[in-house]
Amino acid sequence: MSDVFVYVQHLLGIGHVRRMALINQAIREQGLSVTVASGGVPDDGLDFAADTVIQLSPCKTADSNFSNLVDPDGNSLGDDWKEKRKEELLAAFNVSSPRLVLIEMFPFGRRAFRFELIPLFEAAKAAGIPIICSVRDLLVRKNDPAKTQWMADIARKYLDAVLVHGDPQLFGFDRSFACAEQISDLITHTGYVAPVIGKMPDQTRSGVLVSAGGGAVGAELIELAIAARACSEKYGQDDWHIVTGPHFPTSRFDAIATSLPSGIILHRFLPDFRDRMAGAAVSVSQAGYNTLMDVLSTRTPAVMVPFAEGGESEQTERAEILSKEGVISLLDLDGLSAQSLAKQIDCVRPPADIPIALDGAQRTASIIAGMIKGQV
């Protein structure tokens, strides 16, 4: 038996897992137990910060365009697999016997998984168990108004709350979700989910930290950054640490490792990544939610190149807003060269102060604890 049953499905990157892990940890600090049902490809490096993790039959996206669901070996998945997954998820829910269900993204994303999530919603509703959606501040833009309306209809029918991990002082959920007004009574902005970092000791920042999130995408940026070191007038003599992420293709990692210039240190993963960022003179990365939160928490000067393949709009949109606020320096991968990247790295400035809340994990946990403790 568990207090909170959490559903997480990562397809390409692992940002969703990192954000949910911070929330899970905050929930457990409220004295509540957490069971996670994970539908992504298992990885020993993933930490859900849960009491129990139930691995469903795993899947991932076939490519960065999110064209199709495949198994870990790249085989397409059909109706038999969907039926098996649905039964696994419902069995996990029944075994967990939770007091609250927390769903990551759906129905505002993960539409392809409605075959298992609608039955889960039905089961939770039949048992009188509240359902909460945990969703980031910006959605990927939809060109079909009918899909946007469907999201609102599903939210209205099943959800007890929509916890948006953003701050309306920067922008509200209605910026990317046209039907937000229809479910305004369900929406609470929690503030951003960022790591809790204590007072950092005074230190001299040095070197450049280059990262690519989970590493499923980002190879082009990493290779440009390696070439940029020789072009940097300010940091060309410093060590540059390159963090590819655990899902960076092995063949490409090996190819890069065999021809590294001196002064470049290659890592798949850094367990002390945030500490490294706090000590870096500059961070170079894509513009994922979690990396932005790391930059804000550590106040590290940052150059960001958003991931924008497959119709993904949220990284670019959020990065454009924060660039205008003076938080980051923003670049477009199209036409980017080692020389232009080095020039931007050389002139980047510390992030400006912006009055937004970064305690989203703690506030989310407090809301969930209040709902559970309020049950008769």
Per residue in 61-89, pLDDT tens?
877 666 689 999 999 999 999 999 999 99
310, pLDDT greater than 70: no
CA 124, CA 318: separation in Å to the nearest integer? 34
Asked whether 309 and 327 are in contact (CB, 8 A), the reply is no
Asked whether 68 and 62 are in contact (CB, 8 A), the reply is yes
Tell me, what's the pLDDT at 15? 76
pLDDT in tens, 320-366: 999 999 999 999 888 899 999 999 999 999 999 888 999 999 999 99
CA 302, CA 283: separation in Å to the nearest integer? 5
What average pLDDT score do residues 200-216 get? 80
CA angle 86, 87, 89 (to 5 degrees): 65
Length of the chain, in residues? 376
CA 54, CA 96: separation in Å to the nearest integer? 10
Going by pLDDT thresholds of 50, 70 and 90, the confidence category of residue 376 is very low
CA 188, CA 289: separation in Å to the nearest integer? 18
Asked whether 364 and 134 are in contact (CB, 8 A), the reply is yes
- Alpha-carbon distances of 77 from 59, 68, 87, rounded to whole Å: 8, 8, 16
Q: Describe the crossing of helices 114-126 and 79-96 by its angle, rounded to 10 degrees.
A: 30
CA 112, CA 124: separation in Å to the nearest integer? 20
CA 266, CA 248: separation in Å to the nearest integer? 12
CA 253, CA 274: separation in Å to the nearest integer? 22
CA 336, CA 332: separation in Å to the nearest integer? 7
The 302-304 sheet, strands edge to edge: 264-267, 240-243, 208-211, 282-285, 302-304, 329-330
43-78 burial string, b = 16+ CB within 10 Å, else e?
Answer: eeebebbbbebbebebbbbbeeebeebbeeeeeebe
Question: Tokens in use for 359?
Answer: 């305690």
Q: What is the mean pLDDT of the chain?
A: 91
What SS3 state is found at 36?
strand
What average pLDDT score do residues 231-260 get? 91
Tell me, what's the pLDDT at 38? 96
- CA-based torsion, 93, 13, 64, 149: positive or negative: positive
Share of the chain above pLDDT 90, in %: 74
CA 263, CA 231: separation in Å to the nearest integer? 13
Share of the chain above pLDDT 70, in %: 95
Going by pLDDT thresholds of 50, 70 and 90, the confidence category of residue 135 is very high
Going by pLDDT thresholds of 50, 70 and 90, the confidence category of residue 200 is low
Helices assigned H by DSSP within the chain: 15-29, 79-96, 114-126, 145-158, 219-228, 250-257, 273-279, 289-298, 314-324, 338-347, 360-373
CA 92, CA 190: separation in Å to the nearest integer? 28
- The fold of the 4-192+358-373 domain, in CATH, is Rossmann fold (3.40.50)
All CATH 3.40.50.2000 domain ranges of the chain, comma separated, are 4-192+358-373, 208-347
Asked whether 19 and 68 are in contact (CB, 8 A), the reply is no
pLDDT in tens, 40-53: 998 877 889 999 99
Q: Which residue has the tokens 């007072």?
A: 199
What average pLDDT score do residues 170-185 get? 96
What SS3 state is found at 343?
helix
129, pLDDT greater than 60: yes
Tell me, what's the pLDDT at 249? 84
Asked whether 63 and 233 are in contact (CB, 8 A), the reply is no
54, pLDDT greater than 50: yes
Tell me, what's the pLDDT at 299? 92
249 vs 330, more confident:
330
214, pLDDT greater than 90: no
Helices assigned H by DSSP within 30-168: 79-96, 114-126, 145-158
CATH superfamily of 208-347: Glycogen Phosphorylase B; (3.40.50.2000)
